Chains A and B, each alone.
Chain A
Amino acid sequence: DVVLTQTPVSLLISLGGQASISCRSSQSLVHSNGNTYLHWYLQKPGQSPQLLIYQVSNRFSGIPDRFSGSGSGTDFTLKISRVEPEDLGVYYCLQRTHNPNTFGAGTKLELK
């Protein structure tokens, strides 16, 4: 199975600050069709995960531009600028290039 290593495990950020989360894959996530199926989700407390970024860098509908994704191959990053209280929760990366689909272990974003 593809292993996604997410770092850090937790982040303490001040309101208005910037957060960066890394997701490194044990193998390339470039599909044979040329697409890279690496997605980012946020699970807020008491809610189900919500899609933030799909295919590395595309913001899902309604997601503010404070969220940005980048990367290629095996190395991906989610950046959150101007952190707001509603950004708190656990962030996951998910790869859907290889079977089985696999998740990172999660990064918990908390306020300093």
Chain B
Amino acid sequence: EIQLQESGPGLVKPSQSLSLTCSVTGYTITSGYDWSWIRKFPGNKMEWMGYISYSGSTNYNPSLKSRISITRDTSKNQFFLQLNSVTTEDTATYYCARGDFWGPGTMVTVSS
């Protein structure tokens, strides 16, 4: 069965970059599907951030377009999120997902 697992720092300082890794097991990310990053803010609001497709093309939420980059390492079956110039408003739980399966999420706090 497919499993996704997020990893990365839980605390990031304002103005720095947030970098997260999604490790996928049970399915090869080049075989199909879009591979997304989604975040949930304190409260219930969910935001789709963007995805990298199985072919390597990317699609980003325009609200983040100048700050976000999603890349991958096919040899490790991982994909990555980088979000630049973070502020306290980027504090959220970050999920990687295939759509039908999600990772457990990782909480990231932006604070000095």
Given contacts A48-B95, A50-B102, A54-B100, contact A100 B62 (CB under 8 A): yes
Given contacts A99-B59, A100-B62, contact A48 B46 (CB under 8 A): no
- A69 on interface, CB distance cutoff 8 Å: no
Contacts of A30 in B (CB 8 A): none
How distant is the Cα of A39 from the Cα of B103 in the complex, in angstroms?
A: 18
How distant is the Cα of A39 from the Cα of B97 in the complex, in angstroms?
A: 14
Interface bits A92-106 vs B (CB < 8 Å: 1, else 0): 101010011111011
Given contacts A48-B105, A54-B100, contact A105 B44 (CB under 8 A): yes
Interface size class of A (residues with CB under 8 A): 20 to 34
A90 touches B103 (CB 8 A): no
Residue of A nearest to B63 (CB): A100
Known pairs A100-B62, A101-B48, A103-B46; list 19 more (Cβ under 8 Å): A39-B99, A48-B95, A48-B102, A48-B103, A48-B104, A49-B95, A50-B102, A51-B99, A94-B46, A94-B48, A96-B99, A99-B62, A103-B45, A103-B48, A105-B44, A105-B45, A106-B44, A106-B46, A108-B44
A-B CB contacts (within 8 Å), total count: 40
Contacts of A102 in B (CB 8 A): 48
Whole-angstrom distance between the Cβ of A52 and the nearest chain B Cβ: 10
- B89 on interface, CB distance cutoff 8 Å: no
- B85 on interface, CB distance cutoff 8 Å: no
23 contacts across the A-B interface (CB closer than 8 A): A39-B99, A47-B104, A48-B104, A48-B105, A49-B102, A50-B102, A51-B100, A51-B101, A54-B100, A90-B44, A96-B99, A99-B59, A99-B62, A100-B48, A100-B62, A100-B63, A101-B61, A102-B48, A103-B47, A105-B45, A106-B45, A106-B46, A108-B44
Interface bits A1-40 vs B (CB < 8 Å: 1, else 0): 0000000000000000000000000000000000000010
Contacts of B103 in A (CB 8 A): 48
How distant is the Cα of A90 from the Cα of B100 in the complex, in angstroms?
A: 17
Contacts of B62 in A (CB 8 A): 99-100
